[in-house]
Amino acid sequence: MATLSPADLRNVLLAGSRSSGKTTLAEALLFRAGETSRQGDVLAGTSKSDAEPEERAHHFSVYASLLHATQRGKRINLLDLPGAPGFIGQAISCMPAAETMLLVLDPATGIDSTSRWLLKIARARALPVAVIVSHIGEGTGSLPAFMSELTEALGRACLPINLPTGNGTGVIGCLLNRDGESDLGPVEGFHTKLLDSVVELDDTLMERYLEGEEPNYDALHPPFERAMDEGHVIPVCFTDARTGVGVEALLDIIVQHFPSPPEGNPRPFHIDEGGERRPFVYESDSDKPLLARVFHVTSDAYLGKICFVRVYQGTLRAGDKLFIGDGGKPVRVSHLLRMQGLERTEETEIGAGDLGAIAKVDELHMGDVLHDDEALNQVHAEELPYPKPLHGLAVVPKTRSDEDKVADVLARIREEDPTFDAHFDGATGELVIHGLSELHLNLVIERIRNRGIQVETKPPKIAYLETLSAKAEGHYRHKKQSGGAGQFGEVMLRVEPLERGAGFEFVDKVVGGVIPKGFMPAIEKGVREIMRQGILAGYPIEDVRVTIYDGKTHAVDSKEIAFRTAGKFAFRDAYLKAKPLLLEPIVELDVVTPHDSVGAVTGDLSSRRGRVYASEVTNAGSALMKAQLPLSEMSDYEPTLKNMTRGRGSFTMELSHYDAAPKQVMEALVAEHKAR
Ligand SMILES: Nc1nc2c(ncn2[C@@H]2O[C@H](COP(=O)(O)OP(=O)(O)OP(=O)(O)O)[C@@H](O)[C@H]2O)c(=O)[nH]1
Ligand SMILES: [Mg+2]
């Protein structure tokens, strides 16, 4: 496929809440652009992007898919993202690959908590947004109310660029056209509002416009595109992906009006030099040194690891030897792919501004920066705001061989998904996985089982922490001097609480060499070991300063193992005197519900030890509530919320902080630990 100039490319994300119509819209865009001969369908299992077994089984997206279509000689790269809140990690990792986020909204759902979360992240990263209102074929009677909800949520920058007509059987443009009637009223009013906003960014254009001159496309494009970059205009388009209404128009709008790679806000990179950090601005130019970044990772039975990359600057060529970050040794990139869902074609090169994939390079990982010039060794991409995985599940493989295979699959999923974690919990002997939601974890389990591996799961274990709330001293003498080589080590230490989140500090205050420096690492190792295991209830101990202030050594029998043991038990001695506490994770909850459910939702939250600290009702009748509550009280929240709100409530949650657990909770956990 031809390498296009960066100005002829458009990279867009299809984001939004579950079932808002992203995948169906992607199929419609591909079909209308002549890329496919039949429009695929999610329910029939024929869509290009929901092609993985788990997606075919459930009829919704689980993995981000990269697709492309050509319209008017320009290539649109589409990233179709899954909408369930548990998969938001993929939207976050794909954001740096695109110039525009198309937020697809079904008016029947309104602007739920996932959409609000996506908007917040996009805004914080200066990623321009356009709103696609889907499902207009189902009638446009409710659209005026929806439009006011939209303005309330996104601000006055939200302005239609086209409008539905004939009760959603057509669309009519309102940027370059002022005539006609739409389902939302005369086109002229919308045209004037949009133009008033756009010309504000160009003084000369503004003057001529005020004198009555209608600007043409060439005059309007630069300020329009800038208005999108600055968030001054958030264009709204109307579509129905089932009937095809507005789809062709959307293809045109994307290529004619939305930012190309050189026009869009540059995605943030920085360069670290001589201890200083300054922004690094790339140029969307295929002849410059290469700068690319991995934004998504998948695997394939035949090709192994596939890394999706965005080329920001320069050209990625098959056969090139490239540097990964400042990793030193270059790696050879032999296979470049252009993706159409799971279908792929080999490419010889991917130019600046374009998206593609690299196969079979094991050294490449999610988020890696690739380049071909040692001068770019210190260029780093900005950190992405991934939420912490909070839902836990213990996985029990059936047989020894399942155990090995599970470890393999989990390692692969960890590579692909920054919001997934898997680790072996030494304290409980359990293999524990963590993800963003129950659905997120269920799909991981399904993926394991789809590979013929047998596993059982156990209820989630909450990630409690232990800490202490007072200063105390501890002492332990480890002595084994009967028969054979002896062991001796004696440690006196002090423990004291540190601020929440401070972690661990280890201080050596021993004077006079009563414990030689060489044994300090062994003592620290012993302390860390027992802190990892926990003492009170088997959870890791955090936020503690440990000061070693005295001890004794034996000229012959003192060795590392003896001090490790002494350190461990001296810590235990001190810890039990230092008023230990259990800390529980508290989450920040954003709930969107119809306003008449506020009472029920609040009541339910307080029965879960929750505190609602903000509640606001929008003109459209939705209530936006903010609450904090212990993560342990969140089980079954999703079905309960759906029940209380006739299916309309939605929520997102993120870890807020850790707080001391109430006495009853602590006692129950201590008892549970003793019984194990
Ligand atoms: N009538 C109508 N139905 C639509 C439209 N868009 C999507 N649908 C239907 O809505 C359902 C969900 O559509 P999807 O395209 O899978 O939604 P999605 O946004 O990709 O969903 P997730 O991948 O779970 O986030 C399917 O049954 C579609 O056929 C539309 O514009 N009009
Ligand atoms: Mg989808």
pLDDT tens string 656-672 = 999 999 999 999 999 98
pLDDT at 211 over 80: yes
CA of 220 to the centre of ligand 2 (A): 34
Check pocket membership of 48 for ligand 1, CB cut-off 6 A: no
Check pocket membership of 60 for ligand 1, CB cut-off 6 A: yes
Q: Which mutation among 42, 247, 437 tests ligand 1's pocket best, with the greatest number of atoms within 8 A of CB? A: 42
Residue identified by tokens 């029965």 is: 607
- The closest-lying atom of ligand 1 relative to the alpha carbon of residue 61 is 23
CA of 59 to the centre of ligand 1 (A): 10
Task: Tell which residue, 531, 467, 533, 527, has the closest CA to residue 500.
Answer: 467
Length in residues, the chain: 676
Element (H, E) at 475: strand 472-480
Give the number of whichever ligand sits closest to the CA of residue 247: 1
* Distance separating alpha carbons of residues 521 and 371, to the nearest angstrom: 39
pLDDT at 603 over 80: yes
- The closest-lying atom of ligand 1 relative to the alpha carbon of residue 241 is 31
> Ligand 1 atom 21: the closest Cα is on which residue?
19
Q: Give the pair of three-digit tokens for residue 94.
A: 């794909």
- The closest-lying atom of ligand 1 relative to the alpha carbon of residue 24 is 15
Q: What percentage of the chain reaches a pLDDT higher than 90?
A: 83
Check pocket membership of 114 for ligand 1, CB cut-off 6 A: no
* Distance separating alpha carbons of residues 558 and 555, to the nearest angstrom: 6
Lowest mean pLDDT among 129-133, 326-330, 396-400, 602-606: 326-330
Are the beta carbons of 433 and 392 closer than 8 angstroms?
yes
Would the CATH topology of 16-196+234-257 be identical to that of 582-675?
no
CA of 407 to the centre of ligand 2 (A): 29
> Ligand 1 atom 32: the closest Cα is on which residue?
135
Q: What pLDDT does residue 429 have?
A: 74
- The closest-lying atom of ligand 1 relative to the alpha carbon of residue 239 is 31
* Distance separating alpha carbons of residues 9 and 31, to the nearest angstrom: 19
CA of 100 to the centre of ligand 2 (A): 18
CA of 104 to the centre of ligand 1 (A): 10
Q: Give the pair of three-digit tokens for residue 171.
A: 């669309």
Which residues sit opposite 620 in a β-bridge? none
What are the distances in angstroms from CA 409 to CA 366, 415, 449?
16, 10, 10
Q: Give the list of residues 6+ apart from residue 200 with CB closer than 8 angstroms, or none.
A: 206, 232
- The closest-lying atom of ligand 1 relative to the alpha carbon of residue 240 is 31
For the chain, the straight-line distance linking the first and the last C-alpha, in angstroms and rounded, comes to 62
pLDDT at 35 over 90: yes
Give the number of whichever ligand sits closest to the CA of residue 237: 1
* Distance separating alpha carbons of residues 39 and 47, to the nearest angstrom: 8
Check pocket membership of 44 for ligand 1, CB cut-off 6 A: no
DSSP 422-444: EEEETTTTEEEEEESSHHHHHHH
- Span 116-131, pLDDT tens digits: 999 999 999 999 999 9
Residue 264 confidence class, pLDDT cut points 50, 70, 90 = very high
Task: Tell which residue, 60, 10, 466, 462, has the closest CA to residue 257.
Answer: 10
Residue 314 confidence class, pLDDT cut points 50, 70, 90 = very high
Q: Which mutation among 23, 29, 113 tests ligand 1's pocket best, with the greatest number of atoms within 8 A of CB? A: 23
pLDDT at 83 over 90: yes
Average pLDDT over residues 616-644: 90
CA of 169 to the centre of ligand 2 (A): 23
DSSP 550-573: EEE--TTT--HHHHHHHHHHHHHH
User: Helix %, strand %, coil % for the chain, to 5?
Assistant: 30, 30, 35
* Distance separating alpha carbons of residues 48 and 66, to the nearest angstrom: 9
Check pocket membership of 163 for ligand 1, CB cut-off 6 A: no
Q: What pLDDT does residue 460 have?
A: 65
CATH code of the domain occupying 391-461: 3.30.70.870
Neighbours of 543 (CB within 10 A): 22
Supply the mean pLDDT for the chain: 93
Average pLDDT over residues 90-111: 96
Q: Which mutation among 19, 94, 118 tests ligand 1's pocket best, with the greatest number of atoms within 8 A of CB? A: 19
Average pLDDT over residues 302-331: 93
Which residues sit opposite 467 in a β-bridge? 581
* Distance separating alpha carbons of residues 132 and 27, to the nearest angstrom: 15
CA of 17 to the centre of ligand 1 (A): 10
CATH superfamily of 269-381: Translation factors (2.40.30.10)
Check pocket membership of 240 for ligand 1, CB cut-off 6 A: yes
Query: What are phi and psi for residue 367, nearest 5 degrees?
Result: 85, -5
CA of 59 to the centre of ligand 2 (A): 8
CA of 435 to the centre of ligand 1 (A): 25
Check pocket membership of 49 for ligand 1, CB cut-off 6 A: no
* Distance separating alpha carbons of residues 479 and 482, to the nearest angstrom: 9
CA of 275 to the centre of ligand 2 (A): 44
Average pLDDT over residues 613-622: 87
Residue 326 confidence class, pLDDT cut points 50, 70, 90 = confident
pLDDT at 179 over 80: yes
Task: Tell which residue, 569, 554, 476, 481, has the closest CA to residue 516.
Answer: 554
Task: Tell which residue, 527, 501, 470, has the closest CA to residue 583.
Answer: 501
Give the number of whichever ligand sits closest to the CA of residue 133: 1
- The closest-lying atom of ligand 1 relative to the alpha carbon of residue 14 is 19
CA of 80 to the centre of ligand 2 (A): 7
Q: What pLDDT does residue 428 have?
A: 65
Average pLDDT over residues 575-596: 94
Check pocket membership of 21 for ligand 1, CB cut-off 6 A: yes
CATH superfamily of 16-196+234-257: P-loop containing nucleotide triphosphate hydrolases (3.40.50.300)
pLDDT at 275 over 90: no
Average pLDDT over residues 334-363: 95
Give the number of whichever ligand sits closest to the CA of residue 105: 1
CA of 24 to the centre of ligand 1 (A): 5
When comparing pLDDT for 605 and 303, which is higher? 605
- The closest-lying atom of ligand 1 relative to the alpha carbon of residue 42 is 16
Are the beta carbons of 199 and 206 closer than 8 angstroms?
yes
Q: What is the DSSP letter of 644?
A: H
Task: Tell which residue, 386, 439, 445, 382, has the closest CA to residue 413.
Answer: 445
- Span 503-536, pLDDT tens digits: 999 999 999 889 999 999 999 999 999 999 899 9
pTM: 0.87
Q: What torsion do the CA atoms of 622, 626, 628, 632 make, to the nearest 10 degrees?
A: 30
- Span 396-438, pLDDT tens digits: 999 999 998 999 999 999 999 999 999 887 656 789 999 998 8
Kindly list the domain boundaries of the chain, sorted by start residue: 16-196+234-257, 269-381, 391-461, 466-578, 582-675
Check pocket membership of 134 for ligand 1, CB cut-off 6 A: yes
- Span 463-515, pLDDT tens digits: 899 999 999 999 999 998 777 778 999 999 999 999 988 999 999 999 988 99
CATH number of 582-675: 3.30.70.240, 3.40.50.150, 3.10.150.10, 3.40.30.10? 3.30.70.240
- The closest-lying atom of ligand 1 relative to the alpha carbon of residue 62 is 23
Q: What is the DSSP letter of 166?
A: T
Average pLDDT over residues 287-309: 94
Q: Helix (H, G, I), strand (E, B), or coil: what is residue 80?
A: strand
- Span 56-71, pLDDT tens digits: 999 999 999 999 999 9
CATH code of the domain occupying 466-578: 3.30.230.10
CA of 178 to the centre of ligand 1 (A): 31
